[in-house]
């Protein structure tokens, strides 16, 4: 969410414009970094999610165009999907999904299995999305090479004079520049195919059933577009194996949990039968790569003066970057074991 505050009157008038007039309450909701999200409760008993799409980042029409196609396609298969009730640029209204919740951190390995299974179902459901190709919402979104170029530009400009405060983080990234291009190169060579992917598979973007814990609905579809299945799996590793919050300051608490990784691989491979050999061979690597890429993005935003991700305090992006780099190190240390897990599960 952004730092912007909204008056009750403003929100009620947006809702009235969408035909929702019996509003009992409208309040901030969730912990996303991008959009402004509110839960709306009405006298009729209906509840909604109202969101102001972040127009600094997204072209709302383009996003809603993709989302309508994706949600209709998923519903056409008899599966639960986000449901758009109204769209009045840049605001949108979704049906509030009941009986399920999201978590920012998982506390039991079985949840990783369920989340991975739900994201794999999502990719499967979109495998036969009819042409045309979905629109590229943010070009090169997970392209680590272009994310490095953005970091370099932010470092050069150093608008806030922060470069001196993040030398160890910059060095950590520099030491990994070579491997950063691996998946980009495999895609360019045609060894890894483009697929329709979610591109933001962090754990709080899947609704988990209140009683069974099953992943009932994948949400936050703003970046669903042509991409790489490995980036989706990688972001699950980043967020579902983490032992601590994305902005934990005590780095001794930050590491990737092997048993969670194993459940994630089992849940994903159990459904993602479409993966080719090159994709399977890079599953463990994708976790490290995406975590490094998100670390690079937090660092670039810190150097650029916190213009992209919402921050709650001055060096919030640097703190987030540090947790990502600690997660990368933890995955590197367990790399042989993680590779062995993938081989064992892939059969
Ligand atoms: P952001 O892009 O800012 O991350 P999200 O679309 O992920 O925004 O929404 C933020 C949070 O709001 C989610 O993590 C989830 O908890 C909640 N949420 C979003 N959509 C729904 C929905 N349709 N029903 C119930 N909760 C939702
Ligand atoms: C953002 O929207 P949210 O909070 O689910 C970001 C992701 C990052 C994530 C890091 C559109 O996700 O790419 O991985 O923060 N979304 C966008 O927590 O940039
Ligand atoms: Mg989200």
Question: From first to last of its 347 residues, what are the pLDDT tens digits of the chain?
Answer: 456 889 999 999 999 999 999 999 999 999 889 999 999 999 999 999 999 999 999 999 999 999 999 999 999 999 999 999 999 999 999 999 999 999 999 999 999 999 999 999 999 999 999 999 999 999 999 999 999 999 999 999 999 999 999 999 999 999 999 999 999 999 999 999 999 999 999 999 999 999 999 999 999 999 999 999 999 999 999 999 999 999 999 999 999 999 999 999 999 999 999 999 999 999 999 999 999 999 999 999 999 999 999 999 999 999 999 999 999 999 999 999 999 999 999 87
User: What is the CA(191)–ligand 1 centre distance, in A?
Assistant: 34
34 lines ligand 1 (CB under 6 A): yes
List beta partners, residue 206: 218
- Counting Cα atoms < 13 Å in the Cβ hemisphere of 247 gives 15
pLDDT for the residue 54: 97
Q: Are 233 and 83 in contact (CB under 8 A)?
A: no
- Nearest ligand 2 atom to the CA of 58 is 11
The dihedral of CA 115, 120, 125, 126: what is its sign?
positive
Q: What DSSP element (H or E) covers 167?
A: helix 167-174
For the chain, helix, strand, coil in percent to 5 are 50, 15, 35
Q: Which of helix, strand or coil describes residue 267? A: helix
Q: Is 165 helix (H, G, I), strand (E, B) or coil?
A: helix
Measured CA to CA in angstroms, residue 30 lies from 1, 35, 40, 144, 317 at distances of 9, 10, 13, 28, 19
Distance of CA 204 from the midpoint of ligand 3 (Å): 6
Contact yes or no for 68/81 (Cβ under 8 A): no
Q: Would residue 213 be called left, alpha or beta, if left means φ above 0 and alpha means ψ between -120 and 50 degrees?
A: left
Instruction: Give the ligand with the smallest distance to the CA of 301.
Output: 2
Q: What is the model's pLDDT at position 1?
A: 47
DSSP H helices, 220-257, are 229-240
Question: How far does residue 120's CA lie from ligand 2's centre (Å)?
Answer: 19
Instruction: Tell me if 234 sits within 8 A of 294, measured CB to CB.
Output: no
Question: Which ligand is nearest to the Cα of residue 27, counting in written order?
Answer: 1
Atom 18 (ligand 2) nearest CA: 33
Which pLDDT belongs to residue 347? 74
If one residue of 29, 106, 118, 206 were mutated to test the ligand 1 pocket, choosing by the most ligand atoms within 8 A of its CB, it would be: 29
How far is 309 from 54, CA to CA, in rounded Å?
Answer: 11
Atom of ligand 2 nearest to the CA of 34: 2
Query: Could you tell me if the CB of 296 is within 6 A of ligand 2?
Result: no
206 Cβ below 6 A of ligand 1: no
CA dist 179 and 344 (Å) reads 24
Cβ 225 under 6 angstroms from ligand 2: no
Residues 166 and 303 sit within 8 Å (Cβ to Cβ)? yes
Pairing of strands 100-101, 215-218: unpaired
- Pocket of ligand 2 contains residue 306 by CB under 6 Å: no
Q: Quick one: which atom of ligand 2 is closest to the CA of 204?
A: 5
pLDDT of residue 247: 98
Question: Ligand 2, residues 1, 202, 289, 290: which to mutate, most atoms within 8 A of Cβ?
Answer: 202
Q: Which of 117, 2, 5, 132 is nearest to 73 (CA)?
A: 132
The domains of the chain, with CATH numbers, are: 8-96 (3.30.200.20), 109-346 (3.90.1200.10)
Residue 299 and residue 160: Cα distance in Å, rounded?
Answer: 13
**Bond preceding residue 90 cis, omega within 30 of 0:** yes
Full strand arrangement of the beta sheet holding 84-88: 23-28, 36-42, 47-52, 91-95, 84-88
Ligand 2 atom with the smallest distance to the CA of 32 is 4
Rounded Cα distance between 276 and 127, Å, is 14
pLDDT given for residue 4 in this prediction: 80
Ligand 2 and 316: CB distance under 6 A: no
The three-state secondary structure class of 169 is: helix
The model's pTM: 0.97
| Cα distance between the two ends of the chain | 42
The partner residues of 36 in beta bridges, in order of sequence, read 52
Residue 37 near ligand 1, beta carbon < 6 Å? yes
């Amino acid at each position: 969410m952004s730092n912007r505050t909204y008056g009750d009157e403003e929100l009620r008038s947006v809702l009235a414009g969408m035909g929702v007039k019996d509003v009992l309450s409208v309040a901030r909701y969730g912990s996303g970094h991008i959009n402004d999200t509110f839960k709306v409760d009405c006298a009729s008993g209906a509840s909604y999610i109202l969101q102001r799409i972040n127009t600094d980042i997204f072209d709302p029409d383009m996003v809603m165009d993709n989302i309508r196609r994706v949600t209709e396609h998923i519903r056409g298969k008899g599966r639960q999907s986000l449901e758009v009730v109204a769209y009045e640029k840049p605001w949108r209204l979704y049906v509030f999904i009941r009986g399920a919740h999201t978590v920012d951190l998982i506390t039991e390995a079985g949840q990783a299995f369920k989340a991975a299974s739900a994201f794999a179902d999502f990719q499967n459901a979109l495998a036969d999305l009819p042409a045309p190709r979905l629109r590229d919402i943010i070009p090169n979104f997970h392209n680590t090479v272009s994310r490095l170029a953005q970091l370099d530009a932010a470092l050069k400009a150093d608008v806030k004079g922060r470069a001196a405060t993040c030398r160890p983080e910059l060095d950590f990234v520099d030491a990994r520049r070579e491997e950063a291009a691996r998946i980009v190169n495999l895609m360019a060579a045609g060894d890894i195919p483009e697929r329709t992917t979610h591109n933001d598979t962090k754990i709080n973007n899947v609704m988990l059933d209140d009683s069974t814990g099953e992943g009932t609905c994948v949400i936050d579809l703003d970046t669903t577009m042509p991409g790489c299945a490995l980036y989706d799996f990688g972001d699950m590793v980043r967020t579902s194996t983490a032992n601590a919050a994305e902005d934990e300051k005590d780095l001794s608490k930050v590491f990737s949990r092997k048993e969670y990784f194993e459940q994630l691989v089992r849940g994903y491979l159990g459904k993602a039968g479409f993966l080719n050999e090159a994709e399977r061979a890079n599953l463990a690597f994708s976790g490290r790569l995406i975590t490094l890429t998100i670390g690079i993005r937090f660092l670039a935003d810190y150097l650029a003066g916190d213009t992209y991700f919402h921050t709650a305090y001055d060096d919030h992006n640097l703190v987030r970057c540090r947790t990502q780099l600690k997660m990368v190190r933890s995955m590197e240390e367990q790399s042989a074991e993680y590779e062995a897990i993938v081989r064992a599960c892939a059969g």
